[in-house]
Amino acid sequence: MNKSKTKLAFLLCFLGLELLFHQNPTFAGRKDLPLENLSRIDNLSIKVDKEDCQLGLDENEISSSVYSYLADNNIPIDTGRTSSHILDLSVGCESNELMSIFVIDVQVNQFINIDGVNTKVITYDNGRYGATDSIPFDEIEKGYIPELVKQFVTDWYSVR
């Protein structure tokens, strides 16, 4: 099975399980990570990754919008990318003639040294996922990405 078909099968399985256990397939809320984690962060590097998603908005366009919004809201951004905390906005999608499946996630990751091993620790996570057969993918991104980034800013200031 090629990479694209494997990814689609995985996303369909994941979506199927979500439909089985939850009745709302287009929403996945924040994970149970304490917002207080954000209070310990002095500045953030920003990373935007479309993860081989060829649909929707351009990765650079998304990145520019995220940077601008965070800067306009006085979130301290480390443009030199030396911060140990990284705000990672990732967009994954797969599409065929029947539907598009998507995952949009905002995480704050920190790399810490544990027993000599550089380990990624997720300190904040909020995302959306789902499937659609009628909404263009760029409209999904234009709706969910600003919503998730605005929620991050709200959460950031809720612990300051």
Domain ranges, residue 126: 3-158
Which tens digits make up the pLDDT trace of 122-157? 899 999 988 888 888 889 999 999 999 999 999 999
CATH number, residue 23: 3.30.160
**Closest-CA residue to 126 (of 87, 99, 93):** 87
Q: What is the mean pLDDT of the chain?
A: 82
Question: What pLDDT score does 150 carry?
Answer: 97
- How do 100-114 and 45-49 pair as beta strands? unpaired
From 22-31, 32-41, 86-95, 124-133, the region with the lowest mean pLDDT? 22-31
Which tens digits make up the pLDDT trace of 83-129? 889 999 999 988 888 888 889 999 999 888 888 888 888 899 999 98
Question: What pLDDT score does 23 carry?
Answer: 38
- Exposure b/e, 72-110, CB count within 10 A at least 16 = b: eeebebeeeeebebbbbbbbbbbbeeebbbbbbbbbbbb
* Cα separations in angstroms, 75 against 26, 90, 110, 126, 159: 28, 19, 17, 17, 13
What amino acid is encoded at 37 in this protein? Answer: N
Considering 13-22, 24-33, 72-81, 149-158, the range whose residues carry the highest mean pLDDT is 149-158
Residue 20 has pLDDT above 70, yes or no: no
Question: What pLDDT score does 133 carry?
Answer: 82
Residue 27 has pLDDT above 50, yes or no: no
Percent of residues, the chain, with pLDDT higher than 90: 42
CB distance 125 to 105 below 8 Å: yes
pTM exceeding 0.85: no
CB distance 43 to 77 below 8 Å: yes
Q: How many domains does the chain have?
A: 1
* Cα separations in angstroms, 112 against 18, 40, 104, 118, 125: 32, 14, 25, 6, 17
CB distance 89 to 49 below 8 Å: yes
Question: What pLDDT score does 61 carry?
Answer: 94
Mean pLDDT of 64-80: 94
